[in-house]
Structure 1
Amino acid sequence: MTDTTPAAAPTTATFTTRSPATGDPVAEHPVHGPEEVSRAIARARAAQSGWAALPASRRRDHLLRWKKAIATELDTVARTIAEETGKPAGDAALEVVLTLEHLSWAARNAGRVLRRRKAGTGLFTVHQRASLVHRPLGVIGVIGPWNYPLYTPMGSIGYALAAGNAVVFKPSELTPGTGVLLAGLFDAAVPAYAGLLTTVTGAASTGDTLARSGVDKLAFTGSPGTARKVMGVCAETLTPFLAECGGKDAVIVTADADLDAAADAIVWGALSNAGQTCAGVERVYAVREIHAQLCERVVERAGALRTGPEAGAAYGPMTLPGQVGIVERHVAGAVAGGARALLGGPESVRAPYVAPVVLTGVPEDAAAMTEETFGPVVAINAVADVDEAVALANASRYALGAAVFCRKGRAGAAIAARLRAGAVSVNSVLGFAAVPALPFGGSQDSGFGRIHGEEGLRSFTSVQSTTVQRFTPPIALTSFGVPAATRERAVRLARALHRRR
């Protein structure tokens, strides 16, 4: 007898996202494996060839339609971000606004930045017309973070698309809904290029699969430890890699700084998004004569902030449950090492929330000063002078962002120039993050490569150099038929010219 029972449909593994505040389920998403990622790459390649062939002006128009769709659905996008991260609705809406600014800049400027440019020639190449052009790489893989699940990955996604690439995006397993929504809005706004931006969901295994999938470049945001592992995978196939790995950002406050402005900025930079900001403020170095006054102002402002599930809270819960333990370890270790808690302390940790913590006198070798805390904690240490502040700020393994507060902007800019950080704000914090034309990225444990700005657009291209011979040269040095005497005269002429200053 033949068995006519229909075969059971294959089941796709799923995972559940949960509210960081309550632990309640938010949504279920599929765990995409090698087959699904491979299909996404294939669809992306098919769509990318036509996308790259478009004039830059047409790509701009398509991306601006996508931008309009995101702006139209701003409330929906912000609500998804808030549900997945736990951040207040206002903070989530601000994240969308900043994202729109960057997408708009990338769309409008890609044609200008990446167009073919003439290059100069030399004495012996005057017969050549030289030029260079930035060409799209193909398919870009993007692995995004959970703390800013829209703004941060868009620094790669939007700029890569504007440069003529396709993108396969793997959002954090904590915030997959934001990535799914982003790709869905693209397909709705630009239906002719469906598949150009695809979101695949899952945890580390999905990210590993994407890194091995044959993408033409991988842009990663996350911890230095994870970056090293992903980079190792990319190294097997020489896949280019861009890494943004967080920071331990320092603020320098000089004796003549506006202390009220500095305190206000420090509190926001350290505590917004529950301190879960890669370029947030974690260390402050204030010259000794104003240190106590600055601490008093910071404590006053931070102490007035409320956190918790109630409406109107200044910031939300820790999004990543395991981060609570790191924050607690850093605060307890600092206090045990001799630091004073001016506000809060180990008791401020009440998972999933952490109340503001302000420390001073923290030993420079304490974990709270050397490791990324990624929580609502700020250490304010006194220094003898600006030279000591610069030396301590530069002593970190991280080199992402920094800030300087100084009465005169020119003097502040001079201090900024001495810092190793990839981006510095004078008399504000994170000012660079809101300027789309400025590249963003760091060095050492903060990673390498740049997103945003012209450098960000070029990061997702390869450079092709071209020469076109305009006329037959009088001396063809690239020929075996050149007489020896002619070659010798050319050498003598070059030697005489280059001996001159």
Structure 2
Amino acid sequence: MAFFPVTDPAVRQDFPHHIAGVWSAPEGTARRRVFDPATGAVRWSVPEGSAADVDRAVRAASAAAPGWAATDPDERARLLRALAALLRERMADLAALESAITGRPIREMRAQMARIPEWLEYFAGIVLGLEGGSNQVKGGFLTWTRYRPHGVCALLTPWNHPILILVKKLSAALAAGNAVVIKPSELAPVTPLLLSAWAAEAGIPPGVINVVTGGAEAGAALVAHPEVAHIDLTGGTATGRRVAAAAAERLVPCTLELGGKTPLIVYDSADLDEAVAGTLFAGFVAAGQTCVSGSRILVQRGIYDAFCRKLAERVERLTQGDPADPVTNIGPVISAASRDRCLGHIDKAKAEGARLIAGGTPRTLPPELAAGFFVPPTVFADVTPEMTLFREEVFGPVISLTAFDTEDEAVALANAGPFALGASVWTRDILLAHRTVARLKAGVVWINDHHKNDPRSIWGGSGDSGYGHENGWDALKSYLIKGSVTLRTAQDFGDWFAGGKRYG
């Protein structure tokens, strides 16, 4: 079965694993239910992957890795472009399915899906330009660099961007010549399975891409597997610590893209309406469920009151409802647990004295959405650094506003806390923008915009936000092991123990 009729909401779909290029039944009978977050109904199910399932997938990847690594980069690039073309053909169905599974409004998903093939095409292109260097060195030696893939890579992907984040990782890994085993989030595992099946259709050899679904048991078995040589995780900070510890135990390299508490600095030199619109996007796209959601809005006191008023007015006008409706601005959060956590943050912010200026109470929704996991888009003003909402990641549509007076104060507030992934600066004063950016510890910074992404733009953080990079040459090279070769060019061999001269 190559293509599932995935968009019919009346059809319950039960998926197997996808291993060695084919749909593959699990070793056990346990299954995990996957909910439609807009209705609370079970729409899909996947296997609860076991250590035996993981081992089967890793062995398939291990068997395929040497042949894929030996494939000419031109051919690897051609196959990546073939997969990109297939994704473009099926974009409408893929966007509808991602929207249904994640709860993201269809308008958002269509915009995101339209760009996903670019990652496959970009890495298909740059791998052809991968070059080593050479030097003639002291003593009659020539040295040059070479690259080789790790072999089997584990890709652990999140639920908020199931295909986008997977394709970011997968494109670099495959272009570099690695085989992969993917463990998608148990909350949104379906589209990665389909992507693996479509890759087989595109001609990517069996075993190069494998997907095992499940929860913590499957993830732990994958990162601990002795044949996994590189791990790439996007997830929460707590999960990242566990994965990093497991990788360190085996001295396996990691890329970790973890949590965030992203600040937006809005100076009084900003275009006020533009900054309000940018904040609305930063804070509420994907219902605030992205690693760089603008959750801490720092506004200079001269425009603070006007900013609060304008933002509150726009938040109240956001349409919340069915993700499949093109007019919907805000869908549900991913799960009942996420909903309850967000509502808990709202209650705590009220109790700690933050001033509620928008949202805060559930909106009236149609009966068919009554059991969905909806959180009202919510804004609190006058949030101080001591409050929980200022410090902790919400991962939902709840944001805070804090006033500041000086440039130094803005930077100190932005840098407060253990996260260092994203930030944005809003000002028409270019000198001020440059000074501020130079002092921010965030790994990804935007000026007068937010959350723009491109295959060429390095993406990664530090501290509790992880380490390593996605996108660009850094991502490709992270999936390669760089080595050197030294060749003696001198006619005579320097036999050291016979009195010869050696350099080194």
> Under a length normalisation based on structure 1, what TM-score does the superposition of the two structures give?
0.89
For residue 42 of structure 1, report the CA deviation from its aligned partner. Answer: 1.5
- The answer on 1:67 being equivalent to 2:92 is no
Instruction: State the distance in 1 between where 2:342 and 2:357 align.
Output: 16
Query: Equivalences for 1:394-473 in 2 at 5 Å?
Result: 394-431=415-452, 433=453, 435-472=454-491
- The answer on 1:117 being equivalent to 2:130 is no
Instruction: State the distance in 2 between where 1:348 and 1:377 align.
Output: 14
Corresponding residue for residue 57 of structure 2: 40
For residue 401 of structure 1, report the CA deviation from its aligned partner. Answer: 0.5
For residue 245 of structure 1, report the CA deviation from its aligned partner. Answer: 0.8
Corresponding residue for residue 13 of structure 2: none
SS at match of 2:328: coil
- The answer on 1:375 being equivalent to 2:388 is no
- The answer on 1:103 being equivalent to 2:116 is no
SS at match of 2:158: coil
- Contact 1:187/1:195 (CA < 8 Å) preserved in 2? no
Corresponding residue for residue 243 of structure 1: 256
Aligned AA for 1:326? R
- Contact 2:127/2:175 (CA < 8 Å) preserved in 1? yes
Instruction: State the distance in 2 between where 1:157 and 1:291 align.
Output: 43
Instruction: State the distance in 2 between where 1:26 and 1:402 align.
Output: 36
For residue 91 of structure 1, report the CA deviation from its aligned partner. Answer: 1.6
Aligned length: 470
Instruction: State the distance in 2 between where 1:148 and 1:136 align.
Output: 26
SS at match of 1:135: strand
Stretch of structure 1 that moved more, 135-144 or 45-54: 45-54
Deviations 1:39-94 (A, max 9, x none): 21121122221111122111111100011111111112112211211112222222
Query: Equivalences for 1:15-94 in 2 at 5 Å?
Result: 15-94=32-111
- Contact 1:331/1:346 (CA < 8 Å) preserved in 2? no
For residue 11 of structure 1, report the CA deviation from its aligned partner. Answer: 5.5
For residue 243 of structure 1, report the CA deviation from its aligned partner. Answer: 1.1
Q: Give the unaligned 5+ runs of structure 2.
A: 1-25, 365-369
The one of 381, 384, 403 equivalent to 1:360 is 381
Larger radius of gyration: 1
Aligned AA for 1:85? T
Query: Equivalences for 1:263-278 in 2 at 5 Å?
Result: 263-278=276-291
The one of 331, 337, 340 equivalent to 2:352 is 337
Distance 1:339 1:38, change over 3 A: same
Aligned AA for 1:463? K
Query: Equivalences for 1:167-182 in 2 at 5 Å?
Result: 167-182=180-195
For residue 429 of structure 1, report the CA deviation from its aligned partner. Answer: 0.3
The percent identity for this pair of structures is 33
- Contact 1:337/1:363 (CA < 8 Å) preserved in 2? no
Distance 1:117 1:256, change over 3 A: same
Corresponding residue for residue 243 of structure 2: 230
Q: Give the unaligned 5+ runs of structure 1.
A: 1-8, 491-501
Instruction: State the distance in 2 between where 1:337 and 1:76 align.
Output: 45
Corresponding residue for residue 212 of structure 2: 200
Aligned AA for 1:333? K
- Contact 2:77/2:125 (CA < 8 Å) preserved in 1? yes
Deviations 1:65-124 (A, max 9, x none): 011111111112112211211112222222222322222211111221x33222x455x3
- Contact 2:105/2:322 (CA < 8 Å) preserved in 1? no
Corresponding residue for residue 151 of structure 2: 138
Distance 1:60 1:339, change over 3 A: same
- Contact 1:334/1:363 (CA < 8 Å) preserved in 2? no
Deviations 1:178-216 (A, max 9, x none): 11011011001015x122111111111111111122211
Instruction: State the distance in 1 between where 2:48 and 2:240 align.
Output: 21
Corresponding residue for residue 323 of structure 1: 338
For residue 348 of structure 1, report the CA deviation from its aligned partner. Answer: 6.5
Root-mean-square deviation (CA, aligned residues, Å) is 2.3
Instruction: State the distance in 2 between where 1:250 and 1:473 align.
Output: 63
- Contact 1:370/1:396 (CA < 8 Å) preserved in 2? yes
Aligned AA for 2:481? S
Instruction: State the distance in 2 between where 1:19 and 1:206 align.
Output: 23
For residue 234 of structure 1, report the CA deviation from its aligned partner. Answer: 2.5
